[in-house]
C-alpha cells in the first residue's frame, strides 16, 4: 500500500488526508498541537466560550463533499441551516454591523451604520460575485503547478478579468473606502478578495518567483 504523510491537522490537512485515504493511501497525519482542527478550535474564559478561528461556515458543500467521497452521509455527523443573520461585527468606536444573508439587507445595513451609499455596496457585492465566478475554478479549485490547469476551458473565463484583478496593487488600495471596511477583505470565503489573495500568491510564487519557506516545529503523529 502506498504511504502518505500529511503535515498539519488543520481543515486543509484533514481534507487532504481524507482524499488520499479514499484513493487507497495509508495516511499518517503529523500535528504539533495536542488536538486537530487548526484554527477551528475554541477556548473558555470565565465560563464563556470563544472561537479562536472562523465563526462563519460559508461553503458547507465542500465539507459535504468529503463525507460523500468517503461513503458517509454528512447529516449523520452534523447538521446546519442557513441563517438570516450571518454574524455581527463590533468595532472599537461602538459601531455594531449586522451582516444579513440577503445582499439588499446587508447593503441597507452598511448604509445605515457606515454611511456608505447602498448602491455602492450592491455594486461591490455584484462585482465580487462576478470576479469569483470568473476566477475560482482556475485559482481555487485547481493546482497552478499542473499543466492541465492552463489547458482547461475555465481559463477562458479568467483571462478577460485579469486586468481588473490589480495583481500589482494592494487590497487596501483597491477596496477599502471606509475605515470600518478594513476587516472585510481579510475574511476567508466572504468575498472575491480571498480569491484574489490566493491568485496573487500563486501568481508570484509559481510564475515569477518560486520560493521555499523553512518550517521549524515539533510534529507528532495523531
Q: Are 132 and 205 contained in the same domain?
A: yes
Q: Are 73 and 169 contained in the same domain?
A: no
DSSP tag of 168 = T
pLDDT digits (tens, 9 = 90+) for 193-217: 444 444 444 444 443 333 333 334 4
Q: Are 191 and 151 contained in the same domain?
A: yes
Residues 122 and 105: their CA atoms lie apart, in Å, by 10
Three-state SS at 46 = coil
Residues 195 and 133: their CA atoms lie apart, in Å, by 10
Asked whether residue 220 is domain-assigned, the answer is: no
Range name among 92-101, 146-155, 175-184, 192-201 with the lowest pLDDT average: 192-201
Which of 81, 102, 129 is a domain's end point?
Answer: 81
When computed from its CA atoms, the radius of gyration of the chain, rounded to whole angstroms, is 20
Cell reading at 118: 447602498
Centroid of chain to Cα 195: 8
Q: Are 60 and 90 contained in the same domain?
A: no
Which of 64, 81, 98 is a domain's end point?
Answer: 81
Cell reading at 197: 489573495
pLDDT higher than threshold 50 for residue 111: yes
Q: How do 42-45 and 220-221 pair as beta strands?
A: unpaired
Asked if residues 109 and 97 have their Cβ atoms less than 8 Å apart, the reply is yes
Centroid of chain to Cα 20: 21
Which residues form the domain of 93?
84-212
pLDDT higher than threshold 90 for residue 41: no
pLDDT higher than threshold 50 for residue 190: no
Q: Based on the structure, what is the number of domains in the chain?
A: 2
Amino acid at each position: 500500500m502506498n504511504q502518505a504523510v500529511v503535515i498539519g491537522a488543520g481543515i486543509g490537512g484533514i481534507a487532504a488526508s481524507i482524499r488520499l485515504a479514499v484513493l487507497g493511501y495509508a495516511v499518517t497525519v503529523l500535528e504539533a498541537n495536542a488536538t486537530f482542527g487548526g484554527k477551528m478550535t475554541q477556548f473558555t474564559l470565565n465560563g464563556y466560550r470563544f472561537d479562536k478561528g472562523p465563526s462563519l461556515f460559508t461553503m458547507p458543500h465542500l465539507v459535504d463533499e468529503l463525507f460523500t467521497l468517503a461513503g458517509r452521509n454528512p447529516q449523520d455527523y452534523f447538521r446546519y441551516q442557513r441563517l438570516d443573520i450571518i454574524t455581527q461585527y463590533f468595532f472599537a468606536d461602538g459601531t455594531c454591523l449586522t451582516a444579513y444573508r440577503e445582499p439588499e439587507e446587508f447593503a441597507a445595513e452598511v448604509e445605515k451604520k457606515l454611511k456608505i451609499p447602498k448602491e455602492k455596496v450592491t455594486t461591490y457585492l455584484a462585482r465580487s460575485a462576478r470576479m469569483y465566478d470568473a476566477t475560482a475554478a482556475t485559482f481555487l479549485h485547481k493546482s497552478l503547478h499542473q499543466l492541465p490547469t492552463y489547458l482547461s476551458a475555465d481559463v477562458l473565463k479568467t483571462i478577460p478579468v485579469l486586468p481588473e484583478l490589480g495583481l500589482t496593487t494592494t487590497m487596501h488600495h483597491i477596496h477599502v473606502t471606509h475605515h470600518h471596511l478594513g476587516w472585510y477583505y481579510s475574511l476567508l470565503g466572504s468575498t472575491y478578495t480571498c480569491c484574489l489573495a490566493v491568485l496573487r500568491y500563486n501568481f508570484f510564487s509559481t510564475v515569477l518567483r518560486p520560493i521555499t519557506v523553512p518550517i521549524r516545529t515539533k510534529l507528532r503523529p495523531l
